[in-house]
Structure 1
Amino acid sequence: MLNLHSPLIWLSCLWCVAAGAQERYAFTHPQMGTAFRVILYAGSDSLAQTAAGAAFDTLEALNARLSDYDAQSELSRLSELDSGAVVKVSRPLWEVVQQGQSLSVLSQGAFDLTIGSLSKLWRRAFRQQQFPGFKQIEEARIRVGYESIQVLPGLRLQVLRSGVKLDAGGIAKGFAVDVMTEVLLSHGIQSSLVDGGGDIRVTSPPPDAPGWAIQVQQVDSLGQSQSVNLHLAHRAIATSGDHYRYLSWEGQRYSHIIDPRTGLGVQHGAQVTVLCSDCATADALASAISVMGPDADWGGLLQAYPDCEGWVVRK
């Protein structure tokens, strides 16, 4: 179990507001390159710590399966398989790949889990603040293609091309938020907010509140961007944009969001927000729409997800 008395994880109950038998507790833990937050209402300090600890333990286990930064993760080991190999995987990895592959087909390749070769190239470019070069980009891009992975029944995956490198960064945080939320519910926590670096899912509202207040950017009737509070319950929300991570090179701005079809970071600078019932879908859709761009006909893509809605705020 995690040590919830560590200053990195247990925030000494940032504030505990009496609300009948329920009090508010907040915890945080770094993982997947970001900070995961859990805010919950519980009837006792011990229940809050136990539930949050279980959620963070689950996050650690998911990272060990889904991280492409870890060469020993279950995801990374898929790149070592020969062409045609069939392997049985864990349910979390199978579900992530199954959902990702479905979105790849619907988005015509705008979302692609096999983008790992490009991801590694661009991560180095961001660290060095140097454009990687078009020859290197093309060499990485030709190794990308969601058709290289086939999802089979019985928690099995088939690799159809050797050396395929997967990167679940466009869906993994949202998926982890969903699983963590389910863990909290299994411990009797009915009112919670789980935030994985901006990918958020909420359950029942806090006591005496209409919902969890989530601040987002929207466009008003005059076409101006403004900050508004949405009061959400039993919903998930994800936002994708390049506000904090981008590369400026020779007058061009390249986002950390890579288009698997061109090999380049997207350049439109727009911010995409998606609301769904689950966070994995919201996370992946926000990534796909960011790649498609604000001028693409992505409304048709949302029709395949009737419980979701999305909007774009242009830079």
Structure 2
Amino acid sequence: AEQRFSRFLVGSSLSLLNRDRVRRDSALAEIVRYALAMHEVTDGAFDARVGAAMNAAGYDRTFERLPSDGVVQTLAFAPPIAALHIDVNDDEVRLDSVGTIDLGGIAKGWTVDRVSDALERAGCRNYLVDGGGDIRAAGCDERGEPWVVGIGEGLAVRLQDAAVCTSSTRRRRWSTRRVANATDTAGMDAHHIIDPATGAPSRSAIVEAVVIADRATLADVLATTVIAAPDRGLRAVDARGASALVLQAGRWEMTPGMERWLT
């Protein structure tokens, strides 16, 4: 999946799309099509067109390659997110106008679903697929019980025929130093979750969101969206029959229905 969807690998299918503005790749077309659908479901709170905004915020390399002092020199301008038009036609994705896309808020969940669906087609009814924290489970564990999955800080959920994904701004954070007209200017604390309405890192009070949904792709998108734009994100959680656990002001709060998953 990383070879296809990483924004940081110059040879990935996504990087080639952002560079060449057109790319024929069935998997890329499928995930971009789903990202566009999620943009509608979340009333615009999830937007794959945030690639340039993420670069402008300083997230232009993998987190492991950020400077040791945690200060990133950034550009002062990114094209408006809404200026980029994405067209998907069969296996072809085309980008018109300026801007780039990022699939960080959907790719892991989508990959987990692809693996899970393949297992089910092969007749497997009891499984747990862990895509680096984005998890989908079906059936039971070796004891015949629902799968117990830790979600941090001593919390755990009992997962059965569902997926759980977590998004957080507590770990991937840095400070920026903006550069305009060759002059360093004061920057800000930044993170990797962009509010599409502002084109800047979200200033939401929610710093972590755990979402349980029927599929990992949906849970992944909703977890990101709840932090990026809480009002619209939580409405989408409710509308899609999902459940969320959020951390804000040092307290965990949950949406209706989440309690049935907690151990």
Q: Which amino acid aligns with 1:259?
A: D
Q: Secondary structure at the match of 1:70?
A: coil
**Structure 2 residue aligned with 1:231:** 158
Compute the TM-score of the two structures, normalised by the length of structure 1: 0.65
Q: State which structure, 1 or 2, has the greater radius of gyration over its C-alpha atoms.
A: 1
Q: Secondary structure at the match of 2:136?
A: strand
**Structure 1 residue aligned with 2:228:** 291
Instruction: Say if 2:15 is the partner of 1:80.
Output: no
Question: How much does 1:286 deviate?
Answer: 0.7
Compute the TM-score of the two structures, normalised by the length of structure 2: 0.76
- 1:48-67 matched pairs, under 5 angstroms: 62-67=1-6
Equivalent in 110, 114, 138 of residue 179 of structure 1: 114
Q: Secondary structure at the match of 2:115?
A: helix
Q: In the superposition, relative to structure 1, how do residues 158 and 256 fare at CA in structure 2: closer, same or farther (>3 Å)? A: closer
Question: Which runs of 5 or more structure 2 residues have no equivalent in the other structure?
Answer: 177-185, 251-263
Matched residues, number: 233
- 1:1-315 matched pairs, under 5 angstroms: 62-81=1-20, 88-90=24-26, 92-121=27-56, 122-124=58-60, 127-128=66-67, 129-130=70-71, 132=73, 136-137=75-76, 139-140=77-78, 142-145=79-82, 148-152=85-89, 154-161=90-97, 163-216=98-151, 227-248=154-175, 253-267=189-203, 268-293=205-230, 296-306=231-241, 308-314=242-248, 315=250
For the residues of structure 2 that align with 1:181 and 1:146, how far apart are their CA atoms? 36
For the residues of structure 1 that align with 2:46 and 2:83, how far apart are their CA atoms? 9
Q: Deviations over 1:92-151 (max 9, x none)?
A: 212211111122233343222122223334225961322545xx24x22x2523751023
Q: Deviations over 1:212-255 (max 9, x none)?
A: 002336xxxxxxxx744321111101111122211257896433
For the residues of structure 1 that align with 2:121 and 2:197, how far apart are their CA atoms? 41
The higher relative CO (CA closer than 8 Å, separation ≥ 6) is in 2
Question: Which runs of 5 or more structure 1 residues have no equivalent in the other structure?
Answer: 1-61, 218-225
Q: Deviations over 1:59-107 (max 9, x none)?
A: xxx322222222222222222345xx6x5431x2122111111222333
Q: In the superposition, relative to structure 1, how do residues 132 and 214 fare at CA in structure 2: closer, same or farther (>3 Å)? A: same
For the residues of structure 2 that align with 1:289 and 1:150, how far apart are their CA atoms? 26
Question: How much does 1:192 deviate?
Answer: 1.8
User: How many percent identity over aligned positions?
Assistant: 26
**Structure 1 residue aligned with 2:253:** none
Q: Deviations over 1:167-199 (max 9, x none)?
A: 111100111111122233344443221112211
Q: In the superposition, relative to structure 1, how do residues 132 and 288 fare at CA in structure 2: closer, same or farther (>3 Å)? A: farther
Q: Which amino acid aligns with 1:130?
A: V
Q: Which amino acid aligns with 1:66?
A: F
